[in-house]
Amino acid sequence: MFSKAEMQQMKREFWIEFAERYPRKWLLYDTKIKDFAFKFDADNKKAQVILEVSHRDPAKRRAYFEKLQSLRTILRENYLPDAAFESDHVHETGKTVSRILVQLDGAGISNRASWPQIFDFFHDKMSAFELFFYEFEDYIKDI
């Protein structure tokens, strides 16, 4: 088991190595839509690439998510076949968000041997998410 300080250092090294392996600017928060962002997430059991709609106004959050749901078939057939849709995901903080995610199980930050697999997963899935977003950006923004 790792101490808190060791785990923080490992996470820091993980993200630095990922950035060195794939040195590019990701879309992430630069979607030009308020509270609409792409995220990388990894812990000791899984890695995820997430498109999260976290608008404080539940009606706007639902409206954006409904737009995304209307594109579900296209997203799964052409970009991310394993995409999971969650209309009301509650974070540990209690905040409710809507999100689409893809997940890699059995690979985690604490296992350095799985890092290359996670990095490739992040690159491939986020690239697909970005292509999808750029293709349908105008449609998604128009609520």
Q: Residue 1 above 90 pLDDT?
A: no
Q: Are 80 and 128 in contact (CB under 8 A)?
A: yes
Q: What is the pLDDT confidence band of residue 51, given thresholds at 50, 70 and 90? A: very high
Residue 92's SS3 state is coil
- For the chain, what percent of residues have pLDDT higher than 90? 94
What global pTM score does this model have?
0.93
Q: Is the pLDDT of residue 2 over 90?
A: no
CA end-to-end span of the chain: 48
The number of distinct structural domains making up the chain is 1
Q: Which amino acid is at 132?
A: F
Helix (H, G, I), strand (E, B) or coil at 80: coil
Residue 109 structural domain: 4-141
Task: Tell me the average pLDDT across 25-49.
Answer: 95
Tell me the pLDDT of the chain averaged across its residues.
95
* pLDDT tens track for 81-118: 999 999 999 999 999 999 999 999 999 999 999 999 99
Query: Measuring CA to CA, how many Å separate 117 from each of 10, 21, 39, 128?
Result: 16, 12, 17, 17
